[in-house]
Amino acid sequence: MALGLLATACGPSVEDLCEILDDDCEDMPYEACVDDGERLESRAESSGCEEPFEAYLDCIDDETCEWNSRCAYERDALVACTGESAW
């Protein structure tokens, strides 16, 4: 399972979060994480969903390996905005 992340001006970047998740969490391969993150970033930007995407990234940054269960609210808001699933 890979995760989609967005690079933000003041928050963590896709690459930074994927590196942390790859180092600290099981089943989080760096390349798949970055690929999914960049794809989701592009979708968020084209849909005007930067704010929910940034909130999702911030949550992932705070929760690290527990992000999948603890960031459901932020993920759901992003999915509702983009119309595309987020890891």
Residue 62 tokens read as 């705070």
Cβ-Cβ contacts under 8 Å for 56 (sequence gap 6 or more): 5, 6, 71, 74, 75, 77, 78, 86
First to last CA, the chain: 7
- State whether residue 11 is helix, strand or coil: coil
For the whole model, what pTM was predicted? Answer: 0.83
How far apart are the C-alpha atoms of 7 and 22, rounded to whole Å? 17
Q: Which residue has the tokens 């590196």?
A: 19
pLDDT tens, position by position, 44-86: 999 999 999 999 999 999 999 999 899 999 999 999 999 988 7
Q: Which residue has the tokens 């794809």?
A: 39
Domain ranges of the chain: 14-82
